[in-house]
Chains A and B, each alone.
Chain A
Amino acid sequence: MNIIVCIKQVPDTTEVRINPETNTLIRDGVASIINPFDTYAIEEGLRLKERFGGKVTVITMGPPQAETALREAVSLGVDEAVLLSDRAFAGSDTLATSYALAMGIKKLGEVDVILCGKQAIDGDTAQVGPGIAIWLDMPQATYVKKIEDCKEESGKKVFRVHRMVEEGHEVLDVPLPCMLTVVKEINEPRMPSLKGMMRSKKAEIIKWSAADIQAEEENIGLDGSPTQVMRIFSPEQRKGGEMLHGEVHEIADRLQDVLKELI
């Protein structure tokens, strides 16, 4: 089974803040990490390989330093890592990103399944996975929490998956090749191993430019990105109210008083 996992290197968002006085971002000491949701996709890729055999390839689009995210994936046991990096990709939005990743995956050859995290924590868009599925004309299942089995149906391999929806979950049969985005309920990512870390240090990362993947200029980077960020600003904070002091029963009295109309 040829398993592709798409990952993104993101800043550890819990640490990003806007300085309210200067209205600029405070990013000091913010580390770059693999998007946490993608770690579940990597783990599921490795588990699919353990269940059905094959090869796991991890792919990302980003600046040269995104290589560290790929090496981290290799330390977990991924077989091959591809970095799509080119000045021409700069400024890509989700449309252009999904196009570039789709072209990269095309160049990799035969694919059985593409795994993505449900969304990235910096943008929270959840758009790139479904976008890739359309560019490559594949069926998809989003928010997958379980890949139950893989069976043959009239000569085609089919995954039975469970996907999370608001009121519970859906069971779907998705023929391969397909694109799945996964939620954290699907597994518990493994820790890297020392041997994996040693291997990742020496591993060769495949680096492809826009030309290497035959990406059309109009579809990548700023030209291929219909959306633009017009401005960024600090979220408006709600104002604080009253602090209730005194003995617990006094506070309870007071609360009952103010809420009696509502409860």
Chain B
Amino acid sequence: MDYLLTEEQIMVRDLARKIAQEKVKPIAAELDAKDEFSWPLMKLLAESDLFGVYIEEKYGGMGGGILELCLVTEELSRACGGIAVSYAASALGTDPIILMGTEEQKQKYLPDLASGRKIAAFGLTEPNAGSDAGAMECTAKKDGDHYILNGTKHFITNGGEAETYTIIAMTDKTKGSRGASAFILEKGMPGFTFGKKEDKMGIRPSATRELVFTDCKVPKANLLGKEGQGFILAMKTFDMSRPGVAAQALGIAQGALDLALEYSRQRQQFGRPICSFQGIKFMLADMAAQTEAARGLVYGVARMIDSGNTKVTKESAMAKMFASDTAMRVTTDAVQIYGGYGYMKEYPVEKFMRDAKITQIYEGTNQILRDVIANNLIKESLAASKK
């Protein structure tokens, strides 16, 4: 399908594809087994200028948008979902600064993040506040020129590896979600430490860790936006970042489809390649059509955001939900096409199935997203009927 990408976008995609296929794919199995964050690959992505594709040129980026970010994430995911999420999660940590950072904050943080000299992470989820983010327990108390943070964030992608963290904490618990505020934290700030490193089912080369704040002193200048805007900022961030997760899921689906297609041409049973059987053909056709539909949705939403549209909550949620459900289906079918071999770790396809699962869970479970989509639908319908 031709998505009428610009010359620059094609350049971005092709470079990401080259790196993914030549540098990531050959070591994907090894990275998965080692369960280790790959700084060499992050450095490679940084040197190729890929970390800054969606950041403005004046901050050292390439001046592209969410579509460029999605193209890179998709290509990386085709080789390894874990590497892709390390890359995309840095954007997730950077988005709040782009959305609500002051000029000073942008000047201070964006150039290093655009060049990939540093990577970022985003901290919202807590042990007792998952889908219910409003139940957050992490607090930030104003104390002169500083805020004092106490509490724990967990399941934080790039936790421990990132230098720059955007953290949501409660400045006024009595106000519920309206009492949340956002802060920029730096690794090494006094009272900011790291807890448990998670042992995950998939996306294993990505770091997932606990962030622990014990009387962590954060300068007032590091407050993002105003006090009380933290929750809104988090939601706006997700509007921007969900197409990225969707692109990750899309890449995983495409990668599994690539493998299944190749295998079905080579694998012989009953004296002919299994791709000549209708049962397999139908599966391949469905997998390809679903993947392409996901791509259309993802690119469409990314373009909507890049054109300046800010009311994208519903569409963003749709893209993430649809692409991740597709990824789960397509990777499961890909394993099925591989048969017994597909179940074995010796073959690459089962990893895609493990990597796909998380995309249905993080940045809003697909159940929450359905809720979000339906709420928006009802709201729009109400508004229309009032006119």
Chain A residues within 8 Å of B, Cβ to Cβ: 190-195, 197-198
- Report B116 CB to chain A, min CB distance, Å: 11
Q: Which of B22, B23, B49 contacts A194 (CB 8 A)?
A: B49
B residues in contact with A197, CB < 8 Å: 11, 15
Once the chains bind, are B18 and A191 in contact (CB under 8 Å)?
Answer: yes
Complex Cα–Cα for A198 and B57 (A): 13
Given contacts A194-B12, A194-B50, 13 further A-B contacts (CB under 8 A): A191-B18, A191-B22, A191-B44, A193-B48, A194-B15, A194-B48, A194-B62, A195-B49, A195-B62, A197-B11, A197-B15, A198-B8, A198-B11
| A–B complex contacts, Cβ < 8 Å, 18 sampled | A190-B47, A191-B15, A191-B18, A191-B19, A191-B22, A191-B23, A192-B15, A192-B18, A192-B48, A194-B11, A194-B12, A194-B49, A194-B50, A194-B53, A194-B62, A195-B62, A197-B15, A198-B8
Complex Cα–Cα for A193 and B53 (A): 11
A residues in contact with B48, CB < 8 Å: 191-194
Chain B residues within 8 Å of A, Cβ to Cβ: 8, 11-12, 15, 18-19, 22-23, 44, 47-50, 53, 62
A residues in contact with B49, CB < 8 Å: 193-195
B residues in contact with A195, CB < 8 Å: 49, 62
Among all A-B residue pairs, the 8 with the closest Cβ atoms = A194-B49, A193-B49, A193-B48, A191-B48, A195-B49, A197-B11, A194-B62, A191-B19
A residues in contact with B44, CB < 8 Å: 191
A residues in contact with B47, CB < 8 Å: 190-191, 193
Complex Cα–Cα for A175 and B16 (A): 41
A residues in contact with B18, CB < 8 Å: 191-192
Complex Cα–Cα for A197 and B62 (A): 12
- Report A174 CB to chain B, min CB distance, Å: 31
Complex Cα–Cα for A187 and B47 (A): 17
B residues in contact with A190, CB < 8 Å: 47
Q: B52: nearest residue on chain A (CB-CB)?
A: A194
Complex Cα–Cα for A194 and B15 (A): 8
Complex Cα–Cα for A153 and B12 (A): 47
Complex Cα–Cα for A240 and B53 (A): 54
Complex Cα–Cα for A88 and B48 (A): 39
Query: For A190, A193, A194, A197, which residue has the most chain B Cβ atoms within 10 angstroms?
Result: A194
Complex Cα–Cα for A160 and B50 (A): 37
- Report B268 CB to chain A, min CB distance, Å: 16
Complex Cα–Cα for A193 and B19 (A): 11
- Report A31 CB to chain B, min CB distance, Å: 13
Complex Cα–Cα for A124 and B22 (A): 24
Q: B16: nearest residue on chain A (CB-CB)?
A: A194
- Report A170 CB to chain B, min CB distance, Å: 32
